[in-house]
Amino acid sequence: MLKKILAFTCLALSISTNAATFDFESVGSGLQGSTLLALPEGTFVSSGTDIFLNGANASSICAVIGTACDADLSLTFNGLASNISFEVIDWGPGDSILVSLFDSGSNLLESTSILGNGIFSFPSVGVASMFFDNSSTDFGTWYANWSFDIRAVPAPPAAWLFGSALLGLGVVKRRKAYTKL
């Protein structure tokens, strides 16, 4: 019985990391008719008027204001992300974007300026959200080909305390069984 309780507790409190990407294809290409796009891996929010998915298999996203991809974009992961990578497409000389990564306590982990097209990688661990501060005056920028590792949010201390209590009760029960013999 003690082994079953211990195994269940360890399983319930374990944290696994999985490679992930955003499946824009399941949503479809074009204007989304909303400033919010919720996917299983995370939620995008545009500070503009809409979110636009573009390209073959809807592989890229931009935050629309008016007719350009010039709005700020925020992303909240459904878990904690690390090893984040994405491609910037259609960056122009009038584009100016600052990308900031935050932990679950809204503390800044790192930030960088986007200075052209290309693949941008962020090895930070424990990223809960990202913010794309877009101060562009050009047509705007697309973010494509996302990849990242995602893990479930760690178990709260109360869960660890509960697991420890179960383990302690099992040990006490076992000792009582030994003393009766």
Q: What is the pLDDT of residues 3-43, one digit of tens each?
A: 554 444 444 444 567 888 888 888 888 899 999 999 999 99
Q: 181 or 81: which carries more pLDDT confidence? A: 81
Residue 58's pLDDT band (cuts 50, 70, 90): low
Residue (of 133, 138, 160) closest to 68 by Cα position? 138
C-alpha dist (Å) from residue 75 to 12, 93, 137, 140? 28, 25, 22, 18
Strand boundaries in 13-72, DSSP class E? 17-20, 30-31, 36-39, 42-46, 50-54, 60-64
| Amino acid identity, position 145 | N
pLDDT at 8: 46
Whether 131 has a pLDDT exceeding 50, the answer reads yes
Alpha helix ranges (H) inside the chain: 2-13, 157-180
Query: What's this model's pTM, rounded to 2 decimal places?
Result: 0.74
Q: What is the pLDDT of residues 140-165, one digit of tens each?
A: 889 999 999 998 655 555 555 566 66
54 touches 112 (CB < 8 A)? no
CA atoms of 173 and 177, how far apart (whole Å): 6
